[in-house]
Amino acid sequence: MDFYTREYEKGLQLYSNGVMIMEKCADLLPDYFSFVKGLVDSQDLSLNISREMLQHDRQLKLIAGRLEKKIKSELESMLNNDREKYEEFYKGFGLQLKYGMYADYGMHKDVLKDLVLFYSSSEEKLVTLKEYVSRMKEGQTSIYYACGDAVERIAKLPQTEMLKDKGYEILYLTDNVDEFALKMLDKYDEKDFKNISSDDLGLETEEEKKEAEKQVEDNKGLLDFMTQALDGKVKAVRLSQRLKSHPVCISSEGAITLEMEKVLNAMPATEKVQAQRVLELNANHPIFAKLTQLFESDQEKLKTYSQLLYTQAMMIEGFPVEDPVAFCNQICELMEG
């Protein structure tokens, strides 16, 4: 079989003893490898057989299996021996491979998991999952990733700061299908995947955890007030353990992440979904000192601050401003004194 890395019309031509008997056999070549075109010469298939019977023929299934292994082997060889050429190929067909991981309930994820590439925060280039795992810090149990529409925007997310300071590598996911593909894969080399904007990353020391618990207890009234002020927009307002220089960020809890919410709601004719949002505050930022002051002296102004910080955090995550007029009015109100 000849192997090509440029796109062709989907399908194969199947010949038996030099006589063409089928074109574009979907059972022979899966969608995720449909960029391949070639000829399969077999003497084991009968010419006196219906198309329906041929599609379920045992020999056809064996041929399909061999083709899949051959194509994967060729791609792995290119990846390992000619990285530049593979990355050029990946620009055109990487998305197809990632869709293949997600399609059919992840049936083909093990075939494709070592062929996909993601941009690395530390290497500043595309890397494989195997390469990421080979560089993991001692004791690290998760593969960290962040989502966004561009590498440059993801790199500026507040949530990346602490991980980078601690020396953790982050995979930047820029295609809509990326997070769905990783969710379907679930684990790689016994390492699970963690979105840095979801749940608690669990990177604190015992001392840091105790200090955080005390801060939460000391500021419980403020956090509860701000949660109520946001009137159902967030599940909770919490003190963050992932922020360093930034005052605020939005995280999520549960199965639906912020990025998945954006992708799913952009699809036509689908029921709208919403992640369980959490507004996280940096207790070490000067803004937090202002919030605690307002909680004691001017709770009406604190409501305005709560709305502004929520809108700011949502904008950083790439969400549109829900009410631009109200947002502008709140800024003008604060500027007036």
For residue 24, pLDDT beyond 70: no
Q: Tell me the sheet residues that pair with 144.
A: 170, 194
Asked if residues 181 and 97 have their Cβ atoms less than 8 Å apart, the reply is no
Query: Which of 84-93, 104-113, 208-217, 219-228 is predicted least confidently?
Result: 208-217
In the CATH hierarchy, which fold is given to the domain comprising 206-335?
Four Helix Bundle (Hemerythrin (Met), subunit A) (1.20.120)
For residue 70, pLDDT beyond 90: yes
Q: Average pLDDT of the chain?
A: 88
What ranges do the domains of the chain cover? 13-109, 118-195, 206-335
- How far is Cα 308 from Cα 314, in angstroms, rounded to an integer? 10
Q: What are phi and psi of 236, to 5 degrees?
A: -165, 160
Res. 97 pLDDT band, cuts 50 70 90:
very high
Q: Tell me how many degrees the CA angle 208-214-218 measures, rounded to the nearest 5.
A: 145
Q: What pLDDT, in 10s, does the model give residues 212-263?
A: 899 999 999 999 999 999 999 999 999 998 899 999 999 999 999 999 999 9
Helix pair angle (220-229, 206-218), 10° resolution: 70
Q: Match domain 13-109 to its CATH number in 3.10.450.30, 3.20.20.80, 3.30.230.80, 3.40.50.170.
A: 3.30.230.80
Name the E strands within the chain.
Answer: 13-16, 19-23, 39-41, 118-120, 126-127, 142-147, 170-173, 187-188, 191-195, 236-239, 248-253, 276-281
Nearest Cα to 178, choosing from 275, 263, 107?
263
Rounded to two decimals, what is the model's pTM? 0.87
Q: What pLDDT, in 10s, does the model give residues 114-143?
A: 999 999 999 999 999 999 999 999 989 999
pLDDT number for residue 64: 84
Q: What are phi and psi of 154, to 5 degrees?
A: -60, -40
Query: Which of 26-30, 190-194, 205-209 is predicted least confidently?
Result: 26-30
Query: Top-level CATH class of 118-195?
Result: alpha beta
Asked if residues 308 and 281 have their Cβ atoms less than 8 Å apart, the reply is no
